[in-house]
Amino acid sequence: MKKITSPNRILLLLTGLLAAYQIAIGIDGLSIFVITSYMVAFGVLLVAGLLLIILGFDVLNSPIVVVVSTLIPLSLSMGLVSQYLPNFELPYLVFACIGLLAILITRYVRPTKIATIVLAIVHGIAGLLIAFLPLNLVLRKEVAPGFIFVGIGGILIGIGGLLLSFLRVGKPLLPARTIFSLLPGLLLLMTASFVLGMALG
């Protein structure tokens, strides 16, 4: 397992601080459900950043990583749907719950093909929503142009989530060392994009 370096630790600390800022200040004034959804997403980022700093990349060996790396896009997309597409709130909540449950259950299924398919579907839908809903809202001039950064964050989270999840299910898209080298920077960029987008939007 690749050893975590000091620059990596700094990047992760900055990620944690940005996530903490967003939880404390960046999501005020929204409905309780939206706040809770965003709080889960940024909360997982905050705690994951701290655990990576403390335990290093070894923590990524835990079977819980697949669930955690799914929880971020699912809760974030849930918040976006609830905030901007309130009519779809309940159906999407049902999809998010079933998706998370399916990922949990298929962790224990052999062969892993089913797990990979379930993972790709859930991640794919959540990732596409985070990436393209902001773009759609900006084009329709429902939000300020700066909100596009949320979409950029969505693309980054999609990349990060897929890399990690497929690594955990034993079908890595890139060598593990490359993924670990990219991860801290990717996490920071993604968090910064979300914070910036939500502040500007």
Task: By CB under 8 A, tell whether 142 contacts another protein.
Answer: no
Q: How many CB atoms lie within 10 A of CB 128?
A: 15
Residue of 18, 43, 72, 76 interacting with another protein (CB under 8 A): 43
Options 58, 101, 105, 145; binder of another protein; rule CB under 8 A: 58
Q: Does residue number 1 form part of the binding site for another protein (CB under 8 A)?
A: no
Q: Is 35 in the site for another protein (CB under 8 A)?
A: yes
Are 76 and 41 in contact by the 8 Å Cβ rule? The answer is yes
Q: Which of these segments, 47-55, 121-129, 164-172, 184-192, binds another protein (CB under 8 A)?
A: 47-55
Q: Which residues contact 100 (CB under 8 A, 6 or more apart)?
A: 67, 70, 71, 74, 122
Instruction: Note whether 27 and 35 are within 8 A (CB).
Output: yes
Asked if residue 55 binds another protein (CB under 8 A), the reply is: yes
**CA 8 to chain CA centroid, nearest Å:** 19
Question: Is 200 exposed, middle or buried (CB count within 10 Å of its CB: 0-12, 13-18, 19+)?
Answer: middle
Regarding 20 and contact with another protein (CB under 8 A), the answer is yes
User: Minimum distance between the CB of residue 52 and another protein, rounded to whole angstroms?
Assistant: 10
Question: Does 50 participate in binding another protein (rule CB under 8 A)?
Answer: yes
The answer to whether residue 39 forms part of the interface with another protein (CB under 8 A) is yes
Give which of 61, 75, 22, 95 is closest to 168, Cα–Cα.
61
Residues that bind another protein (CB under 8 A): 20, 23-25, 28, 35, 39, 42-43, 46-47, 50-51, 54-55, 58-59, 64
